[in-house]
A and B are shown apart, each in its own frame.
Chain A
Amino acid sequence: QQQVKQSPQSLIVQKGGISIINCAYENTAFDYFPWYQQFPGKGPALLIAIRPDVSEKKEGRFTISFNKSAKQFSLHIMDSQPGDSATYFCAASRTDSWGKLQFGAGTQVVVTP
């Protein structure tokens, strides 16, 4: 049973548009929420991560929004570019669990020119 539910499964956005991917979790003990980006034929790579003491974290065009009361967090990709076309995974873990990450199912993002 997946502990982190991710939606949508896939997303098509035009160049310059905003991509939004949502994740929800149940375990309130989770205290670390990373997003990974995976290009075809490659392993995932850490994109950005947040801890529950902040509601938003921004790195360049990528922003995580975190809603602790709703147990939801989301990734926003602003000014989406064709090079952002990839699969994105959200994840969650407890710091005291030796970093056992629970991953969402993934979202395939396609940015059209």
Chain B
Amino acid sequence: EAQVTQNPRYLITVTGKKLTVTCSQNMNHEYMSWYRQDPGLGLRQIYYSMNVEVTDKGDVPEGYKVSRKEKRNFPLILESPSPNQTSLYFCASSLESPSEDEQYFGPGTRLTVT
């Protein structure tokens, strides 16, 4: 089944404790992206990747890191999480850019930082 998977689905952590949210797609997509969803703000792009080893900042990259060492995986790293990073996170992928091709979203990761 073609899908985008994220792990974990739920995470409660404490301020400053490094964490990684994994994202994997099995559709051989070139483009991958991370978004955060907050009430009243919609979805905001954190980082995106056009291909392996090619990444760029989205609209809200502060406090996040990404890497794209393999085509299928695009992990999101929070080196020192803070409470303002409490949010619902989505990974997404598409064959080409989202304005050229349908973007498929993962099921989301709900992160709480205390």
Contacts and interface: CB of A to CB of B under 8 A. Distances in A.
Does B associate with A?
yes
Interface of A: 2, 4, 6, 9, 31-32, 34, 41-46, 89, 93-95, 97-106
Contacts of B44: 103
Nearest to B96: A99
Interface of B: 4, 31, 40-45, 48, 50, 56, 58-59, 90, 92, 94, 96-100, 102-108
Contacts of B99: 31-32, 93-95, 97, 99, 101
Nearest to B88: A43
B42 A43 contact: no
Contact of B42 (A31, A34, A100, A106): A106
Given A46-B102, A99-B31, A99-B99, A105 B41 contact: yes
A104 B37 CA distance: 11
Contacts of B90: 43-44
A88 to B, nearest CB: 11
Nearest to B58: A100
Nearest to B101: A99
Contacts of B45: 100-101
